[in-house]
A and B are shown apart, each in its own frame.
Chain A
Amino acid sequence: MTTITAPTFPRLFAGIDVGPSYRAHLNRFGDRPTFNDRKAEGLRTLHQLLDDAPLIGRGGGGIAASLKLAFLSTSTKPVIVVNAMEGEPASSKGVALAMVAPHLVLDGALMLAEALKSSQIIIAIADDDTRTTQGFQRAIGERRESISMEISHPPAHYVTGEESALVHWLDEGSALPTFRPIKPSFVKIGRRAALVHNLETLAHLALLARFGAGWYRSRGTSSSPGTTLITVSGAVQSPSTYEWTFGRTLGELIEQAGGLVEGFGGALIGGYGGTWVGGNALSLPIDHASLRSAGATLGPGIVVVLPKASCPVAEVTRVVEWMANESVGQCGPCVYGLPALAKDLRTLGWSRSTRNQFDRLLHHLTEVDGRGACRHPDGVVRLIRSCLSVFSAHFDEHLRSGPCAAVNAPTVMVLPKNRRR
């Protein structure tokens, strides 16, 4: 008999050397604990674990996983939705989990389903993401479970991973966000409530349930316990998804990713609705509290490193143009506002612009902020505002002397082709 030991580090990737098979998973982590007793005791225990950790959702909203559970407790038997949409172009943690630890994700979803007496788990993977699909198909095929686990393929768009858009698609086949003036709110598939979690959140739950809140808290900081997956790209030698202990610095993360390709010019943190940090941020600890005090958030775990020679105006312009094309076209301020912002930025970046044109950009930012049904336009506003504040000297230079030398350098940001809807 093998003895099961709690992994020290890495955690989610502890099985990386033995492969993603179910047998290897059971050998490394043992069977999953069950929370399916006839009374609600199991659910209470699970809820307590989430609170004690506390397990913060890894989807980018920074919502405590227990909050979603508390919100559901009046309804029964929700559909469990595993959100593996990975709409962020600069994230690859979904495929990393599918390749290394799909059974941790399935364990987390199954434990929730058992505790809530649910009979259905849906794993939502973008329709063009064949590698993540293959990983989960193989993993599901290895299991004999009484709870149904199926893969669903919403269309690959930036916004489809948003919770209400995702559930809307699963419910009615329309991948559009819905208007929810009060959040958090119930999302439903047919008459069933849906409980949506990012796939990484569920993988952490699988380990938390086995090894306990004390173990969970034994790494990381007191307000951001545990580890988290971060996809690092841009000016690093080995761009990839890394498991990271909360509280270690951005500089250490870059070292982990093979070190800088050239000088450090700052970074985009949190994805394309995220925030920037400047060239002095190498000593910034990556945990929720430290990032918040730097005006940043981790989002779903994304860091894009800018080389010192790049032009942040050009980089943010291209991302905003891409984000404008990803609008689903439901709300006027997003449909008209995002292209207007993109145009303002392009003028600033590529021609000699006036103070008036700069003020126009600032005006458009206030016009667009908070006026969509989903957070897509707000993300773009946050991205631009943060860029303006972190790289204000560079913007000033553009205003003073026109386009800089780096404005036509190759893009650092990953920009996939926008797909037509």
Chain B
Amino acid sequence: MRLVVNPIACDAFGYCAELAPELIHLDEWGYPVIDREVTRGLLPLAEEIVAACPRRALSIRND
């Protein structure tokens, strides 16, 4: 599984990287960069940041 950012929706709020530094870091302009795949153990955290995004720009994909 992997996190996907919709870059059009994303407005660089940065909550995702704040809540899940294990999965995401921010580039120098404040936009999220996905660092790794979502393992079973990290799934609850991934779901949390998907729900926390004020722009609904994150999703989890099975592929």
Chain A residues engaging chain B, CB cutoff 8 angstroms: 176, 178-179, 181-182, 330-334, 336-337, 367, 371-373
Which residues of B sit under 8 angstroms from A332, Cβ to Cβ? 7, 10-12, 27, 29-31
- B11 nearest in chain A by CB position: A332
Q: How many whole Å from A421's CB to the nearest CB in chain B? A: 15
- A336 nearest in chain B by CB position: B29
B17, CB-defined interface residue at 8 Å: no
A to B contact number (C-beta, < 8 Å): 44
Set B6, B11, B28: member contacting A373, Cβ < 8 A: B6
B45, CB-defined interface residue at 8 Å: no
- A377 nearest in chain B by CB position: B7
Count class of interface residues, chain B: 10 to 19
B9, CB-defined interface residue at 8 Å: yes
A331–B4 alpha-carbon span in the complex (Å): 14
Q: List 8 A-B contacts (CB under 8 A).
A: A181-B61, A333-B7, A333-B27, A336-B29, A337-B27, A337-B29, A371-B7, A373-B8
Whether B31 contacts A371 by the Cβ 8 Å rule is yes
B53, CB-defined interface residue at 8 Å: no
Set B5, B7, B59: member contacting A330, Cβ < 8 A: B7
Chain B residues engaging chain A, CB cutoff 8 angstroms: 4-12, 27-31, 33, 59, 61, 63
Which residues of A sit under 8 angstroms from B31, Cβ to Cβ? 332-333, 336, 371
Most interface-central of B6, B7, B29, B59 (chain A CB within 10 A): B7
Q: How many whole Å from B33's CB to the nearest CB in chain A? A: 7
A178–B12 alpha-carbon span in the complex (Å): 18
Set B9, B28, B30: member contacting A179, Cβ < 8 A: B9
A178–B7 alpha-carbon span in the complex (Å): 10
Which residues of A sit under 8 angstroms from B11, Cβ to Cβ? 332
- A330 nearest in chain B by CB position: B8
A195–B27 alpha-carbon span in the complex (Å): 37
A331–B61 alpha-carbon span in the complex (Å): 20
A397–B39 alpha-carbon span in the complex (Å): 46
Q: How many whole Å from A420's CB to the nearest CB in chain B? A: 20
- B12 nearest in chain A by CB position: A332
Whether B6 contacts A179 by the Cβ 8 Å rule is yes
Which residues of B sit under 8 angstroms from A336, Cβ to Cβ? 29, 31
A371–B5 alpha-carbon span in the complex (Å): 9
A367–B27 alpha-carbon span in the complex (Å): 7
Q: How many whole Å from B7's CB to the nearest CB in chain A? A: 4
Q: How many whole Å from A244's CB to the nearest CB in chain B? A: 37
Q: How many whole Å from A216's CB to the nearest CB in chain B? A: 35
Given A182-B63, A333-B7; 20 other pairs, CB 8 A cutoff: A176-B8, A178-B8, A179-B7, A179-B8, A331-B10, A332-B10, A332-B11, A332-B29, A332-B30, A333-B27, A336-B29, A367-B27, A367-B28, A367-B33, A371-B5, A371-B7, A371-B31, A371-B33, A373-B6, A373-B7
